């Protein structure tokens, strides 16, 4: 399965001029994400403002409160704006799925470039997404995800990232902490 996803991601990078690709890991979880910059395809859209993406998480039971956990998939849409030269703010929506859980969370993302005068810029970011019962389908009763990360730009358009992710997939039969973990990864922008 991982081999197929890797091949699809590599193919998408060359065919669609992908804006960013990221790979986050820890001792037992794998997260792969891609985002396409819609401004690269449409001249009426300003570049770096509208993104369409996908994410896949192969999570382990050690970072969850259930014994058996299924893979997580999502398709996402994000509109961002530069508030000033160092701060970006965005509004997003996702369609996510895992086993018998489907929801459409709405969210907010922010990124800030720290005013440190170094050769390697440091960025901090955060995101929160929430789906109440009205945006939850199948056996879902609600969804909450929040993240925080720090990205160090080690080369042009190449980052090392350290982050924390917490995802709650609430079912009608009870709340399930899907994933609660710290990760390290790489992010590339094209």
Confidence of residue 121 (pLDDT cuts 50, 70, 90): very high
Q: Is the pLDDT of residue 180 over 50?
A: yes
Average pLDDT over residues 59-70: 87
Buried/exposed 97-115: b ≥16 CB within 10 Å, e otherwise: bbeebbbbbebebebbbee
Phi (first) and psi of residue 152, to 5 degrees? -105, 120
Phi (first) and psi of residue 40, to 5 degrees? -75, -20
Can you give the pLDDT at residue 10? 47
| Separation CA 167–CA 14 (nearest Å) | 31
Can you give the pLDDT at residue 1? 56
Q: Is the pLDDT of residue 90 over 70?
A: yes
Number of other residues whose CB lies within 10 A of the CB of residue 49: 16
Q: What residue ranges define each of the domains in the chain, with the CATH number in brackets?
A: 2-189 (2.40.160)
- Which residues sit opposite 185 in a β-bridge? 24, 161
Confirm whether pTM is higher than 0.85.
yes
Condensed to tens digits (0 to 9), the pLDDT of residues 129-148 reads 999 999 999 889 999 999 99
Percent of the chain with pLDDT over 70: 91
In the block, which residue shows the tokens 């259930």?
66
What is the dihedral angle through the alpha carbons of 9, 11, 13, 15, rounded to the nearest 10 degrees?
A: -140
In the block, which residue shows the tokens 């001792």?
27
Q: Is the pLDDT of residue 43 over 80?
A: no
- The number of residues making up the chain comes to 190
Alpha helices by DSSP H, 45-176: none
């Amino acid at each position: 399965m991982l081999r197929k996803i890797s091949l699809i991601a590599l193919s998408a990078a060359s065919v669609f001029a992908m804006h960013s690709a990221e790979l986050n890991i820890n001792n037992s979880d794998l997260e792969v994400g891609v985002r396409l910059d819609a401004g690269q395809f449409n001249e009426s859209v300003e570049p770096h403002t509208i993104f369409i993406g996908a994410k896949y998480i192969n999570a382990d039971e050690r970072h969850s409160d259930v014994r058996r956990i299924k893979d997580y998939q999502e398709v996402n849409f994000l509109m961002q704006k530069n508030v000033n030269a160092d701060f970006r703010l965005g509004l997003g929506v996702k369609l996510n799925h895992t086993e018998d859980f489907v929801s459409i969370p709405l969210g907010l993302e922010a990124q800030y470039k720290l005013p440190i005068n170094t050769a390697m810029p440091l960025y901090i970011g955060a995101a929160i997404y929430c789906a109440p019962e009205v945006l939850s389908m199948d056996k879902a009763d609600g969804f909450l995800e929040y993240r925080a990360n720090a990205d160090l730009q080690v080369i042009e358009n190449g980052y090392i990232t350290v982050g924390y992710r917490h995802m709650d997939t609430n079912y009608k039969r009870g709340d399930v902490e899907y994933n609660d973990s710290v990760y390290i990864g790489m992010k590339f922008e094209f």
